[in-house]
Structures are given as structure tokens and as C-alpha cells.
Structure 1
Amino acid sequence: MINQRTAVVVEDDSDVGELISGLLDQAGFVVTVVPTGAEALAVIREQMPDLVTLDLSLPDIDGVEVCRQVRLITDCYVIVVSARTSEIDRLIGLEVGADDYLVKPFSMRELQARVAALFRRPRTTTELTPEPRRAVAATAATNGHARSEPGQLGCDDLSLNTGAREVRVQGEEVDLTRTEFDLLAHLVSHPGVVVPREDLLRAVWATDFVPESTHVVDVHLANLRRKLRAEVDGSMEHEWIRTIRGVGFRFDPCCT
């Protein structure tokens, strides 16, 4: 079938794997079930699926490392399905690139709802809403720096092409991870607006789960800032992403 969605279920418990596979099959996915991390990575490289469900306790490679490697291969949605219940496990799962985290035992209805929610909310960089586009255009009109071309965001010294998923600082391309790009794109599409950490978690990780600690956001933004500074020559000291203590972050587009 043309454009039929595909999924890889990474689960060493055959009963659980069969249940998840059956649910995704009913939802219209072509499903492959694999019991180990090594097999999962091989199949994901070959199939480039739309969705991966990932158990963290695998017999060969820890699921966290599998998730980290999946993020080097594909931008597909990843839902961790694990018996690990601690907040630190959830944070680590989200930090290495999972889009959602579901604790075993779980109901099939809940998994179905979470899968549906992910596919209702595309990545923030795939399509900008009219409101952020108007905000970018308004900034351009007031300071002459921000760009309002379709798919193009930022200012004279920092630009994002959301279609090509490309970031440039002073014309030099910056190599960002998927999460770093999505965080930057979300902030840049709301210039001058303070975005709470909780909102960044919901928008970039496409999940309604907000942990007690939002440290995962700070970790990714620290890496993002470091990469942006590495491309700036010595004459520039502008900090595009400002930390608003106790609240969140703000993108300042005016490059001075």
C-alpha cells in the first residue's frame, strides 16, 4: 500500500511484543517485531520506519543506547515501553531522543492514544503555524533583522531553514541533533517571547508527560548554545538564547 506506515517493535517478551504488534497492525501499520537491540538497529537501518516502540531491558544492548543510536539513523517517533518506573529513567529516555515514555504494565488503549497523539502533532520544524509566521514578519518590520521567507527563520547572523533542517551562523552551517534543531526552531518561531521549559518539553518531545525536573531541556540547550558560539567569530558576543530564571528561555533575534 502506498504511504502505509511502518513500525518496529523492540521487545524481548514475546507476549508483550505480540500485543503491541497486534494493536499497531489494527491501526494500519506494517509491523516488524525484534527481540534484541542489535536486530532492532539492523531492521531500523533497512526499513526506516515511522514508529519504534522500545523496551529498555533488552538481552544484549541496553535500550537507552539503542535509542541513542536510533537517533543517529532516523527521525522517526520513538515510544519507550518499559518496566522502569523511576523519574530518572524517564528523563534519560527523553534526553536520548524518545518522544514518549510508557510504563509497564499499560493498557492497549493508552498506547493507542499515545501513538495517535504523536502522529497528530508533527515535528515543530515540519510546519510553522500562522501565528509564529506573523511573529517573525512583525519582528522583521520592527528591526530589519528577522527573516520572514517561507521556511526561513532567524536573523542576519543566525538563520534556520526549516524545510532543509539547516542552521547557519554567519553563513557557516552548524551540525545540530534533531532535538537541538527542534528546540531552536521552536524558540526562534516565538521571537522575544519567554517559553517555559514545560512548553518546550510538550512541543519538542511531543508528549504530555512533564517530569518534576525539566533538567533535560537545560542539558540540550546548553549543548545548543555551545555549538552556536563555536561558529561565531571573536567580534560577536550576542547571546541569542536567554535564560529567564525560574521560567524558561527567550530567543532574542536582534544581532548587535
Structure 2
Amino acid sequence: MGERGVAVVIEDDGVIRTALTDILRQSGFAVHPTSSGSEGISKVIEHKPDIVTVDIGLPDFDGIEVSRRIRTFSDAYVIIISRRADEADALMGFEAGADDYLIKPFRKRELIARVRAMFRRPRIMRQLPGVSSVPVSQGALVLAGSDRMDALPGAADVQGLPVEPAGGFDFAHQGLALHEGTRQVTVDGIPISLTRSQFDILLVLMENGRTVQTKSDLVRRLRNEPYTSGSFVSAKEERAVEVQVSNLRKRLGESSRRPRWIETVHGVGYRMTP
């Protein structure tokens, strides 16, 4: 993969921690391993990594909470690694801001493939008026002088900060606009914070308009696979997409019962409203 930057490994099992460290170093990362959630968060703050692997069963607090805390200040790619194969654990991980969920034992090639897929997603920094520079792919805004990121559930939270890319938007629909190159989304001219997966789902839907996108279509898009690949999509992955769409709607400030933008086609998938 070449040089990728910095990684933090948060894993209390010494053997697995060493294995993860070796894999990531061989893949071009400078790796900072640690064995607890509190130490891991400190390492993320200190080293500003590009990717973080988090064990779900840590001695102080679990990987779900670690992911949630990391996401309040960092846009690093987060992979939760766990022996728990329960769907509920994976969904909680995605809701906490993780980008992927990998079950132990895992294969070296599988981890590398997932990391490669993540790094194909752009990480663009953009400066907003009165706001410090932040990764638009994560979309959180850091208020000037603040020591934390504030999630933006809707336009009302950022009044007075309308932004438009220099080249205009690629897609627009009923006040919702999206620019693929900068990974920026606005509602009525106001920036909206989206996670990478939420942005990618919205991009697919806006690209296809009234053509229904199945949950399997969306899963494959998030994997960076072509729709026609025919690769297996599990029920857990489809459920994770449902959660992502639900969270996307919340970020946009719309109701699933009376959608302004994203329409559910029951038993099939999603499409944009007329």
C-alpha cells in the first residue's frame, strides 16, 4: 500500500496487538500500540492517526465507548475488532462512529483489503468562515476556540455559515445539495455534518434519483464494489445500512414518515423523493 501515515492499535491481548502492529507496519504505517481505552484515546490525541483499530473488550471501558469518544475529536478511520459476532454489537459500533467491524480471528489479507477500501474514500479538509479546518468527510465542525467537535443534527445549529464550493454542487434536490469532490452537503445553503458512510449513501441515492437502490446495492457501494459484482451481502450488513440511512435522515432533519428527500420503498430499498 505504500506509506499511509499513522496508526494506533488499541488491543489488550498482547499476541493480537503484536500481530496488528506488524500487519500495519508492513503496510506502511507508523504504529503506536496500546492496551487500554484511556491510553488509546491519549495516543489518538497525541499522534493524530489516520487509522485506529479498537478491541471491543478492553480492561477499562469497551471499544464502543472508545469509538464514540474518538469520533468527538478525530476523523481517523476506526475499525472495531471483536470476538463478538452478534449483530447488535456491530450495529452499536457503527452508531458509535466506527467505519468497519471485523470479527476475530481474522485473516491478514482481509484486514489489509478493508484498510485499502477505506483509504479509497477521500479525506478533504475545508476551511469555513469563523470555523477551524475540519475533515469534510466526517463533516463535524469545530467552533473556533472550542476544545471539542459538535455534531450538527440540522441547519439550525450553524446559522450564518452558508458555504458553496467554487465549482458549484454536483447534485441538488429540494434544497439539499451535494458536492462530491469536497464531500460537502448543505441544506438550504447550510453545511450539514455527515459520516463517510452517510455521505456515500446519500451520493448513491442522489446519483440515481428515482431509481430504487436496494440495501445490497448500498452495501456493495460502501465496500467500493461494482453493483454487478454479485458478492454476498449478509443480513447484518443490510441491517447496518438501515441504521446508516436512519442516522442520515436524522442528520438531514427529515422524518421517514414524511420524507423531504429519502423515500423508503418497503421490502426493496431507497430512492429520492419526486
TM bucket (normalised to shorter chain) is 0.7 to 0.9
Equivalent residue number for residue 122 of structure 1: 121
Q: Larger Rg: 1 or 2?
A: 1
Equivalent residue number for residue 225 of structure 1: 249
Alpha-carbon distance, 1:63 to partner: 0.3
Equivalent residue number for residue 37 of structure 1: 37
Aligned 8 A contact 1:87 1:211 in 2: no
* Within-5 A mapping of 1:39-188: 39-119=39-119, 121-122=120-121, 152-155=170-173, 157-188=175-206
Alpha-carbon distance, 1:164 to partner: 4.1
Q: Are residues 229 and 158 of structure 1, via their aligned partners in 2, closer, same or farther at CA, if it must alter by over 3 Å?
A: same
Count of residue pairs brought into register by the alignment: 225
Alpha-carbon distance, 1:156 to partner: 5.5
Q: Are residues 169 and 65 of structure 1, via their aligned partners in 2, closer, same or farther at CA, if it must alter by over 3 Å?
A: same
Tell me if 1:216 matches 2:240: yes
Aligned 8 A contact 2:3 2:28 in 1: no
Alpha-carbon distance, 1:79 to partner: 2.0
TM-score (norm 1): 0.74
SS in structure 2 at match of 1:193: coil
Equivalent residue number for residue 247 of structure 1: 268
Identity in percent: 40
Structure with higher helix content: 1
Aligned 8 A contact 2:64 2:96 in 1: yes
Aligned 8 A contact 2:97 2:195 in 1: no
Question: Bigger CA drift: 17-26 or 210-219?
Answer: 210-219
Q: Are residues 158 and 113 of structure 1, via their aligned partners in 2, closer, same or farther at CA, if it must alter by over 3 Å?
A: closer
Amino acid at match of 1:185: L
Deviations 1:96-129 (A, max 9, x none): 333332222223333233333433x3259999xx
Q: Considering Cα pairs closer than 8 Å and 6+ residues apart, tell me whether 1 or 2 has the greater RCO.
A: 1
Deviations 1:215-251 (A, max 9, x none): 3323332333344346xxxxxx772111111111112
Aligned 8 A contact 2:12 2:36 in 1: yes
Amino acid at match of 1:248: G
**What is the rounded CA distance, in whole Å, between the counterparts of 1:175 and 1:117 in structure 2?**
22
Q: Are residues 13 and 151 of structure 1, via their aligned partners in 2, closer, same or farther at CA, if it must alter by over 3 Å?
A: farther
